[in-house]
Chain A
Amino acid sequence: MLKIRIIPCLDVDAGRVVKGINFLSLRDAGDPVEQAKAYSDEGADEITFLDITATHQRRRPMIDVISKTAEKCFVPLTVGGGVKNIMDIKEFLLAGADKVSINSAAIKNPSLINESSKKFGNQCIVVAIDAKKKSKNWNVFINGGRVDTGIDAISWAKNIEKRGAGEILLTSMDRDGTKNGFDLELTSTISSAVNIPVIASGGVGCLKDFFDGIKLGGASAVLAASVFHFKELTIKQVKKYLKSKNINVRIDNLDK
Chain B
Amino acid sequence: MKNVLIIDYGTGNLKSVHNAIKRISEKQDCKILVSSSVEDLKKSTHIILPGVGAFESCLNGLIKTKVRGCLEEMVLGEKKPFLGICVGMQMLATKGFENGEFAGLDWISGEVKKINNKNNNLKIPHMGWNSLKFLKETAFTKRLLKKMKKKSINDISAYFVHSYNFKNKNANEKVITTCYGEEITAMISKENIIGTQFHPEKSHYFGLAFLKTFLEQD
Give me the interface of A with B, judged by CB distance under 8 Å.
1-3, 5, 40, 45, 67, 70-72, 74-76, 93-94, 96, 98, 121-123, 166-167, 195-197, 220-221, 248, 250-253, 255-256
- Check B130–A96 contact: CB distance below 8 A: no
Report the nearest B residue to A95, measured CB to CB: B15
Q: Is B135 part of the contact surface with A, judged by Cβ < 8 Å?
A: no
Tell me the complex Cα distance, A72–B13, Å: 16
B66 CB-CB contact with A under 8 Å: no
A7 to nearest B CB, angstroms?
11
Q: B16–A196 contact, CB under 8 A?
A: no
Min CB distance B59 to A, Å, is 16
Distance (whole angstroms) from the CB of B34 to the closest CB of chain A: 13
Q: How far is the CB of B80 from chain A (nearest CB, A)?
A: 25
| Chain B residues, Cβ within 8 Å of A195 | 120, 122-124
Chain A residues with CB under 8 Å of B155's CB are 251-252, 255
Q: Could you tell me which B residues sit within 8 Å of A by CB distance? A: 13, 15-16, 19-20, 22-23, 52-53, 120, 122-131, 149, 155-157, 159, 161, 179-180, 201-208
Decide: A166 and B127 in contact? CB cutoff 8 A. Answer: yes
If the complex has contacts A2-B180, A3-B131, A121-B52, are A197 and B123 also in contact, measured as CB distance less than 8 A?
yes
Contacts of A252 in B (CB 8 A): 155-157, 205-206
Given contacts A75-B159, A252-B156, A253-B205, contact A2 B126 (CB under 8 A): yes
Among A1, A2, A93, residue most surrounded by chain B Cβ atoms (within 10 Å): A2
Q: Main SS of chain A's interface residues?
A: loop
Contacts A/B (CB < 8 Å), 6 sampled: A3-B131, A74-B19, A74-B208, A122-B125, A123-B161, A197-B123
**Contact status of A74 and B180, CB under 8 A, knowing A167-B127, A220-B128:** no
State whether A74 touches B127 (Cβ < 8 A).
Answer: no
Q: B132 — nearest CB in chain A belongs to which residue?
A: A252
Residues on B with beta carbons closer than 8 Å to the beta carbon of A72: 23
Q: Which one, B22, B128, B208, contacts A197 given CB within 8 A?
A: B128
CB distance from B134 to the nearest CB of A (A): 13
> Would you call B20 and A74 a contact (CB within 8 A)?
yes
B52 touches A1 (CB 8 A): no
Find B16's partner among A2, A98, A197, A220 (CB 8 Å cutoff).
A98
A195 to B207, CA, bound (A): 28
User: Does the CB pair A74–B207 fall under 8 Å?
Assistant: yes
Question: Considering only CB atoms, which chain B residue lies closest to A249 in the complex?
Answer: B129
A178 and B120 alpha carbons, distance in the complex (Å): 35
